[in-house]
Every structure is written in C-alpha cells, then in structure tokens.
Copies of this chain bind each other. A is one copy, B any other.
Amino acid sequence: MRLTHLLAAASALAIAAPAPAQVAKTELNRIIEEGTNQSEAMVTAQYMMDMIGPRLTNSPGMRRAEEWTQQRFRDWGLTNVRKEGFEFGRGWTIERSSVRMVTPRSVQLTAIPIAWTPPTNGTLTAPVIVAPISAERHFDAWRGKLAGKIVMISLPTAGSEPDEAAFQRLTAEQIGKLDSFRQPRYDPEAADRRVKRLDFAKKLDAFLKAEGAVAYATQSYRDAKLVHGEGYLFARGDTPALPGIQLAAEDYRRLARIAKVGPAPTLEITSDVRFDDSDVNAYNILADIRGTDPKAGYVMAGAHLDSWVAGDGAADNGAGSVMVMEAARILAKLGVRPKRTIRFALWNGEEQGLLGSLAYVERHLATRGTGPNSQTGLARFMGWSNRWPITPQPGYGELAAYFNIDNGSGKLRGVYAENNPAVVSTLREWLSPFASMGARDVVISRTGGTDHVFMQQVGVPGFQFIQDPLDYESRVHHSSADTFDHLKADDMRQGAIVLAGMLLQAANADQPLPRAVPQQPKVTDPFAYPDPDEDR
C-alpha cells in the first residue's frame, strides 16, 4: 500500500468516527503534524518583531500590527476578523535619540527616552544633579536646587551579582512547588493606596517643572547596559512637561559618582520622539473559527500584541501573540469544525494596565463598579478591585474557557489552574497528549499581571500556561534585548501546538469548564494598620 493510500484510508477512518470529542482526539495528531513540519510560527514572528518592531499601544508600529494581524487572520481563513476599539490616549514613537556625557569627558551613553515623555526639540545640554526622589515627602529637600538641571531621580543602586544562570528551564521539582493552594488575600485599602501613588509621576513632573529643571533621568533596573524606558503618562492631557530618559545602570552610576566627588557632569540629550493623536482609541484584534452549535458558546485564546519600545517586543509578548496566531492558522488550515466557536484575541494596552482585555470583559462579559471616582488607565487596573458588585453582560455565560499566553517564548510545561480546583482533572486530561512534548502539569497556583486577570475576577475560567522561563526575567522582559533572536523556535512551535490542542478539546468538550466562584472576598485582615512609609 502506498503512503498516499494509507493516509487516505486513515483520513476516511477519522471521518467515519462521529463524536466531537473523538474527532478532536484524532485531530490532535494533525495539529502536531501541521505545527511541526508545516510550522509558520517563526515566519510570523520574524515579520512581527523585525519588520514591524515594537508595538507600543497606539504607536505607528502598533497601528501597522493591528492591520497586519487582521490580514493574516483573513488570509488563513478565519471569520469575523475585526478590531474592537477602546479609549486609550496618545500615540508615541522614538525616531532618534542620543545621550552623551560631554564634561568632564566625552562618553556616548546608553539611554532611552521614557515612553510618552516630550521631545527635547533639538539638543539639550545641561549639568546633572543627583536628587533621589521617590515620594512627595522628598520634594522639600530639593526646592531651589534644580533650576537648569537634568535631575537624576533614582537612588543609585549597587551592582548586581547574578548567582543563577541567565537561561533557565523548569525542573519537575520547581513545577511541583507551584501546586499548592493558598488562602486568597484581600485588602481594598491597599488598592486605594496603589492608585493614589500613581499620581506621583504627575506630581513629580509638576514639581520639577516648577523648579525650573530641564529634564530628568532614571537608572535602569537591570545591569550590563540594558535599558527599558517604561512610562505611563499616555492619556491626553497627562503628557509631562519634561523630557525623561532612562540611563543604563553603568552610565547612571558613573554620573552619580562623578557628581559626588566633583563638579557635576554635563549631559547632551537629543530625544527626537513623536506624538500621534490622530486616533485616541486602541484596538483589540479578534478572529473566530465558527462553531457548529450556535448555542454552545465559545472558547478563547489571547495574548497581548502591544509591547514596550526598547526592544522589539519579542518575548513580551510577540511570542504569545505568535503562538495564538499560529494556533489559529493551524486549526483553520485543518478545517476543524468544533462544537463551540474558537476565538483568538490579540489584546492591546496590556502594558498600561490590561486595558484591552478589561475593555473586552466590560463589553462582553461583565461590568464592575470602580468606586466614587471614575478611574482610567493604569489606575483602573489598580482600582478595579474585587469589592464592587459584578453586573453580568448578555455574553457572560458564553465564554466556556480562556487561555492566556504571556510568559515569553518558553515551551509550555503545563497550565495554572488559577485557584480553581474543579478544573484540574479536565485540564490534565486535555494536556495528556502533549506530555511527551513537555506540557504535562496542572498546578493550582494563581497568576496575575496579565490578560486573564479580569476574567478570573468575574468568574470566567481563565488560565495561564506554565512556561520555561528561558532568559525572560534575567535579560529580555521589557528590555533593549527583547528581540526575535531570544525566541526559541522549537519552543514557539510547541506552544502553538499545545494551545491549538487545548482550544480544540475545550471547544468540543461535552461540558464547559467548571467556573471558579467570582471573587468578592471579605477583607482578609481587618485588624491591620497600613504602614505609613510602605512606599519607602
């Protein structure tokens, strides 16, 4: 029997088996074949990271990515490809930048303009002053001393002595430690204090401006010349008055030492950054593979497409976006006909407070109050606390399972059950075909800080994957080294395969996944007093 006949016979056998769950099992091997031998994951990744590059929310790069990803979904045959907007703020991009020390000697420094700070409009030359300011109570010490200065607001830290390898894969023992149920903790006053501290950036800018400072600089939080440049004053009307730069730790510390022992060094800063206010909305990208049962609801995978700008947004989170896109391509290519619709989401504004996924939750799943003061931006993330009642939207019951990817390009090693013990056995069963590829474990730990958080909070079963960390924490997360070449191709392919497999099984499951109880906890420790210096 020739190979083609054998394949045709196998295919015919598969078609003859009727139960959706059984169809899915057979299709898992086709997913693996398509995701390994026919993979397009790294081609997609190369275009996203190299050709489009960084994708700061509402930046020109992100606009290109919004259009290109929709086009790719359409090319691959997905349906209902669309973008859903939500109000965000200003577009911002770096065209060119340079920071030099010009006295006491010439050194080209490693630096990046802080996101959404204004341009220098040419070259700005001024002496530095080291004025560590991290809270309003520090302002008084510097009044009258900052006029005409570039203010170095970070307290210089000692250098790092990394005692672990920069590149890591998880051991079974490490994964095992994640499988331990913990008492949820809840303190709404802490949330209020976090929100309050968000105003500090604006107050600092106003203080520096009033004092006549001409720019400010921070120290990078990673050593060895990596820079990051996160900033959060992206809303219209919030743009700071002063240009801001983040300096490599080595360069910052050198300036601080020189200023300590002698005349303050002089910097020459050119920050040619550009704003674009043509559209204040940011957009989530959505695409579907339509289910056969219109009443069965949908399952969804999501990853945030937006990034910071120091690198190309590869590990954070081009990797997750590519896995989601490749899973969509694989399932579309195979022509799967799942019971439930499978939806693919590329979120926007994640780096500024999970804003894209929050907008989706509020539009399609459930709203929740935000207290007496209507909050926007990052403050909404901080303040959208568990204390307000949940108001379900019409689609609340339709989302049967959500899988999020946002931990770099490392191989998927399992799933976080996110404090939802009732799903453990089902997830483990769905993972079992991928155990030999490294994705084996289901652990109870809850994870935060990315786009499944608000779904969890309203009671939708939203999960993250356990991933090998690689050099995510040590080198690339948000940094100037977050480029395509830190992505691991085999891991990326495995991730897309496992994601596609989980989605298809979830879409064909007899029952939707058991939901966690929506989180409306009591205050955990009503007897505690807040530390008045907790931000020291």
Task: Give A contacts to B, CB under 8 Å.
Answer: 46, 50-53, 61, 94-98, 100, 104-108, 110, 158-167, 223-226, 249-250, 253-254, 257-258, 261-262, 311-312, 470-471, 475, 480-481, 483-486
A110 touches B110 (CB 8 A): yes
**Residue pair B108, A96 in contact (C-beta under 8 Å):** yes
A486 and B159 contacting across the interface, CB-CB below 8 Å: yes
Cα–Cα distance between A163 and B162 once the two chains are bound (Å): 12
| Sample of 12 more A-B contacts, CB < 8 Å, known A52-B105, A96-B106 | A46-B261, A51-B104, A51-B262, A95-B106, A163-B167, A165-B165, A166-B224, A224-B225, A224-B481, A249-B485, A250-B481, A254-B484
B-side contacts of A105, CB under 8 Å: 51-53, 61
The 8 tightest CB contacts between A and B, nearest first, are A161-B167, A162-B166, A250-B483, A159-B485, A224-B481, A253-B485, A163-B165, A224-B475
> Using Cβ atoms and an 8 Å threshold, which residues of chain B touch A254?
50, 312, 483-485
Minimum C-beta distance from A409 to chain B (A):
11
Q: Which of B61, B257, B471, B483 contacts A50 (CB 8 A)?
A: B257
> Could you list 22 examples of A-B contacts with CB < 8 Å?
A51-B105, A51-B258, A53-B105, A53-B107, A61-B105, A96-B100, A96-B106, A97-B108, A110-B225, A161-B470, A162-B471, A163-B165, A164-B165, A166-B166, A223-B475, A224-B224, A224-B225, A250-B480, A250-B485, A253-B483, A253-B484, A254-B485
Closest to A108 in B: B97
Could you say which residues of chain B place their CB within 8 Å of the CB of A61? 105
Is the CB–CB distance between B225 and A480 below 8 Å?
yes
Residues of chain B with a CB closer than 8 A to A224's CB:
166, 224-226, 475, 481
A239 → chain B closest CB, angstroms: 21
- Are B96 and A311 in contact, with the CB atoms below 8 A? no
Residues of chain B within 8 A (CB-CB) of A94 are 106, 108
Residue among A98, A254, A261, A311 having the largest count of chain B Cβ atoms under 10 Å: A254
Is B167 a contact partner of A165 (Cβ separation < 8 A)? no
**Complex contacts, A475 vs chain B, CB 8 Å:** 223-224
Q: A483 — which chain B residues lie within 8 A by C-beta? A: 250, 253-254
**Which residues of chain B have C-beta atoms less than 8 A from A471's C-beta?**
161-162
Whether the pair A225, B481 counts as a contact (CB closer than 8 A) is yes
The complex places the Cα of A98 from the Cα of B162 at a distance, in Å, of 30
Inter-chain contacts of A98 with B (CB < 8 A): 98, 108
The smallest beta-carbon distance between A223 and chain B, in angstroms, is: 7
Within the complex, the shortest CB–CB distance from A257 to chain B, in Å, comes to: 5
A166: chain B residues at CB < 8 Å are 162, 166, 224
CB–CB B167/A110 < 8 A = no
Among A159, A225, A480, A484, max chain B CB count under 10 A is at A225
Tell me the smallest distance from the CB of A325 to a CB of chain B, in Å.
Answer: 18
Alpha-carbon separation in the docked complex, A95 to B101 (Å): 10
Residues from chain B with a CB closer than 8 A to the CB of A107 are 53
**Once the chains are docked, how many angstroms separate the CA of A312 from the CA of B101?**
13
